[in-house]
Every structure is written in C-alpha cells, then in structure tokens.
Amino acid sequence: MAKNLSSKYRAARQVARLYSGQLTSDEAVKIAAWTQDEAEYQQDFLDITHGLADMERLADDPDIVEITEAAFADSRMSKRFGQGWAIAALLVLVISGIFSWVQWWPTDVAVSAGLRYVTRVGEQKTVELDDGSVVTLNTGTELQVTMSESKRQLHLKRGEAYFAVSKDALRPFTIDLDGRSVTVLGTEFNIRKTPEKLTIAVLDGEISLHKNGADIVPTALSLSVATGNAAKVKSPQQVRINAGWVAEVDVENDSLVGYASDDIDKYQGWRSGQLRFDEEPLSVVVRELNRYSGKKILIEDAAIMDLKIYAAVRIDRIDLALASLEKTLPIKVIQYFDRTILVGKSVKDNSNR
C-alpha cells in the first residue's frame, strides 16, 4: 500500500510542477525515466494528465467559461498554464514512445507506438486500438502496443487479456509472448500468461501459435475437428488453433497440449465480472481468487486443500464468496487486517497470529 501511495504522490507532485510552468529539464528527464522503469508510476502519471485533459476539453463549454473566466484573468497565470499544457503534451508523447528524434524516424512511422496498458490487482480495462480491435485486460496485466501502417505488434508481458481483432489482410496482428507469438488476421481469443504456462482459448476464427523467428506456414499442425478431441506436441515450431480449442503450453518443458472444449466461453467469463468453478479443488479456487483480491487468502490446513468447489463468484465481492464457502463447506474463514486464513472447522482460532 505504501508503494502505491508513493507512486501516486510522486505522479501528482510532478504533474503539479508541470502545470505550474516551473518544471525543469532535469525533472522532465526524471519523469521520462520513471515511466520507462515503473509501470505503476506511468499509469498514475497518465491517469492524472488525461484527467486534466478531459477538464481542458470542458473549458470550451460556455457555462464553464463564464464561471472560470475570472480565475484566468491574470495573464501571467494563463501563460504558465499554457506552457504547462505544452510540456504535458510533450511528456505524454515521450512516455508513449511516439516522440523520438523525429528527423530520424524510419519510413514505417508508428501511428501509436509503445503504448503501455497496465491493470492493478482486481482491476479490468477495455482498450480500443487504432485499427478498431478491442482488447480487454484482466487483473494484474501489462500489455505493450505498437501500431504502424504495415503491422500490428503487441507484447503481453504478464497477465490475461481477451482480443477481438479487426480483420486486416495487409497488417497481421501479432502478440509476443516471450519466446512464442500468436499471429492472426481477424478473430477472437483469450490468452493467459504466467511464467510457467500459456493458456490460449480461441472463440472465433483461427490463430497461429509459433516460436519467435519461425516461418508461418499454412501446412502446420491444425488443432481442429480433424485432430480429434486432443493433441500433445513436444517443442512445436507452429500450431494452428481453431475456434473451440484450447492450447496449454508448458514453458519450462517446451510442450503443448491442445483439446476441444465443451465450454469455450468459460475462458472469457471473467469479462462479465464472474468466475465459475466446476468441481475445482479449494486450492485452485483460492489461487484464482488471489488474482483479484487486495488481501491475500491463505489455506493453513492441508486437510481442506482438495475440497471440491462448485461456485460462481463475483470478482468484486470475494468477501461474499468466502462467507458462502464457510456456510457450505467444513471450513472456517478467519479475517485479519492484512490477510484471510482458511482452516478446517475443527481447527481452533489462534488470535495471536
């Protein structure tokens, strides 16, 4: 929490300096460096500057003009405010990776290059890209986007996202997954990325999953009806995944398992704000809930780890889900200031924890 407050404080302080017209070149360099190195600071800084940009657009409203005209009667204040906006625009461009020694730009000029989108724990965000594609980011996700006249290049650094890709035969849509990439022309699919595993579910169309640098060929193995209901591939260079199929990649062992899903929509269920568990062990359920919970949930009783769970959980009401589990399962939910502990009902509460 202290780190979050520190990031917001620094961002707010620098934006205040910026709009005062007194921001120094050294401070501008620091802001640019922080936004490159700290995704959280970048998001806080952009949130504040974009919010102020919305306020500026409102300034043209006649009613707003009448109310605020007196506040800007001082020409010196107006001048400083205008200078602040000029610096703000420049910094936002630098942060977004758009502004960089314009005279040396290549002919393949980026329309929106290096834009980075980040969601915090429990947060979700929907982004419409320049080409009309829509990306929905789930909790704890970081996505880099580079769009140009010849390509649509994204980098999913961590987390989970749902992609509804607009068709454009001249500009392949490629998502770098660190060592592997997904390339499509137009389709809908969900990707979840952890250090150990990639899970890709295709809801519409077809995608190509391939190792970075590998040639994309139409004759590659296709996970489809013709494959049967499942397939296992060791170190595949390229696999085509059709609608209704899920591919799970074991990153460490460099292997892929693909299977046809009877309920492919469940892989995007989080977009509606709900998680569904069908006979999942309690340990798996808790691991999933921790992705959305600001307070850590811990199981401290091995006897309840494998209890089977059938439940639908609202992402924004994990507290209600835990209360419901306590009523229906032989478990106790013990709340502490900084964590939640799950134990069997026979275990005594230790208030000295």
Domain boundaries along the sequence of the chain: 2-102, 110-265, 273-344
DSSP for 2-29?
HHHHHHHHHHHHHHHHHHHT---HHHHH
Query: For residue 324, what are its two tokens?
Result: 């419901």
Q: Does the domain at residues 110-265 carry the CATH identifier 2.60.120.1440?
A: yes
* Percent of the chain scoring above 70 in pLDDT: 69
Other CB atoms closer than 10 Å to residue 131's CB: what's the count? 15
The CA–CA distances, whole Å, from 168 to 77, 113, 185, 186, 200 equal 48, 18, 6, 7, 21
**pLDDT per residue as tens digits for the range 228-241:** 778 888 878 999 99
Mean pLDDT of the chain: 79
Q: Which of 36-50, 77-91, 139-153, 212-226 has the highest mean pLDDT?
A: 139-153
Pull the structure tokens for residue 215. 């040639």
Give the pLDDT confidence of 242-271 residue by residue, as tens digits. Answer: 999 999 999 999 999 999 998 999 999 999
Question: Which two structure tokens, joined as six digits, stand for 290?
Answer: 């921790």
In this prediction, residue 101 has a pLDDT band, given cuts at 50, 70 and 90, of: very low
How would you list the strands of the sheet with 339-344, edge to edge?
296-299, 339-344, 331-335
Q: Are 239 and 223 in contact (CB under 8 A)?
A: yes
Residue 6 is predicted with a pLDDT of 64
Q: What is the pLDDT of residue 29?
A: 66
pLDDT at 325: 93
Pairing of strands 339-344, 331-335: antiparallel
Architecture category of domain 273-344 in CATH: 3-Layer(bab) Sandwich (3.55)
Q: Is the pLDDT of residue 73 over 90?
A: no
* Stated pTM of the model: 0.66
CA–CA distance, 203 with 188 (Å, rounded to integer): 6
Banded model confidence at residue 74, pLDDT cuts 50, 70, 90 = very low
52 versus 300: the higher-pLDDT residue is 300
| Element holding 211 (H helix, E strand) | strand 206-211
Under 8 Å CB-to-CB from 311, ≥6 apart: which residues? Answer: 276, 277, 285, 321, 324, 325
Residue spans of alpha helices (H) in 60-202: 62-68, 75-96
The Cα 285–Cα 315 span in angstroms is: 12
